């Protein structure tokens, strides 16, 4: 699985990116804890599969 976070507002990302660090962390945590029964082989954002 892969996470596409579209950037996160931070010192490195700057103020113009659309996501907060908390929002990015929530998606990463979801992927890290989804388990073997969850979806695989895709690109995900906010718990939803997105096109490549």
DSSP string, 31-52: HHH--TTS--SSEEETTEEE--
Closest to 25 (Cα-Cα) out of 38, 8, 10, 39: 8
Residues contacting 37, CB < 8 A, separation 6+: none
- Domain limits for position 35: 2-50
What pLDDT score was predicted for residue 15? 64
Most distant pair of Cα atoms in the chain: their distance: 37
User: Which pLDDT score, from 0 to 100, does residue 17 have?
Assistant: 67
Per-residue pLDDT tens over the stretch 37-46: 888 888 887 7
pLDDT at 9: 52
Summarised one tens digit per residue, pLDDT across range 1-52 is: 445 455 555 555 566 667 777 887 888 888 889 888 888 888 887 788 888 7
Structural domain total, the chain: 1
């Amino acid at each position: 699985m892969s996470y596409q976070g579209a950037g996160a507002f931070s010192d490195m990302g700057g103020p113009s990116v659309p996501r907060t660090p908390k929002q990015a962390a929530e998606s990463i945590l979801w992927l890290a804890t989804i388990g073997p029964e969850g979806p695989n082989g895709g690109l995900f954002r906010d718990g939803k599969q997105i096109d490549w």
